[in-house]
Amino acid sequence: MVMHYKTAGHLACGSHGTKLPSTTELNKVKCRNCRKTEAFTEARRTARNAARRAARREKNARGANDWRTSWEARLTALPGRQRLPRGFGEQAFV
């Protein structure tokens, strides 16, 4: 059975009927006319971009802690009184 894309209470392809199956999940849509509409392609584009942004945010969140801890370890390993940069804590010297 053909599954239509429903947006704002209407079917994207313009079909009418109360018994037509419809969904808002992009992966389940099988109607070729619905898949070619601007509303469907825009929704697919925004979902794809949101997934990319979430992956990028997660990657940056993990990487942010790694460089900071390695930098602190490097500064503490140096001989003498080495200053920590701003934002690395309340202590003035290592």
Q: What pLDDT was estimated at residue 44?
A: 96
Q: What pLDDT was estimated at residue 81?
A: 63
* DSSP codes of every residue in 38-68: HHHHHHHHHHHHHHHHHHHHHHHHHHHHHHH
Q: How far is 68 from 74, CA to CA, in rounded Å?
A: 10
Q: Tens-of-pLDDT digits for all 94 residues of the chain?
A: 899 999 988 999 999 888 999 999 999 999 999 999 999 999 999 999 999 999 988 877 766 667 777 877 887 777 766 666 666 656 555 5
Identify whether the C-beta of residue 5 lies closer than 8 Å to the C-beta of residue 24.
Answer: yes
Q: What pLDDT was estimated at residue 71?
A: 79
How many CB atoms are closer than 10 A to CB 26? Answer: 14
β-bridge pairing 22-23 and 10-11: unpaired
pTM over 0.85? The answer is no
> Residue 76 has which token pair?
């503490």
Q: How far is 67 from 20, CA to CA, in rounded Å?
A: 54
